[in-house]
Amino acid sequence: MGRAPCCDKNNVKKGPWSPEEDAKLKEFMDKHGTGGNWIALPQKAGLRRCGKSCRLRWLNYLRPNIKHGEFTEHEDRVICSMYASIGSRTQQSVF
């Protein structure tokens, strides 16, 4: 299994995203939304990236509803409460 044809090109950039690339992707997504073709998106947005790279960057870092930072006190309490009631998955026997 190899790379998608869009990612085999020599002019596809790899490595860390620049702030300019982030801005291009955000602007494109603000105008056109997420309901399109991720493979065609880089060319339409003026990016030299693979469609998969654009999708992952958007979903994991740039989406407006992503929460960055630490857990709130309420979230900490919920996590601790659930851990106390059901424990760790590693404590459960698979057999």
Q: What is the pLDDT of residues 11-61, one digit of tens each?
A: 788 999 999 999 999 999 999 988 889 999 999 999 999 999 999 999 999
**Cβ neighbours of 66 (radius 10 Å):** 10
Q: What is the rounded distance in angstroms from the CA atom of residue 77 to the CA atom of residue 83?
A: 10
80/3: higher pLDDT: 80
Summarised one tens digit per residue, pLDDT across range 70-87 is: 999 999 999 999 999 888
Write down the pLDDT at residue 36: 82
Instruction: Please choose, from the candidates 54, 44, 69, 45, the residue with its C-alpha nearest in 3D space to the C-alpha of residue 7.
Output: 54
pLDDT of residue 51: 94
Domains and CATH numbers, the chain: 19-86 (1.10.10)
Q: Against a cut of 0.75, is the pTM above it?
A: no
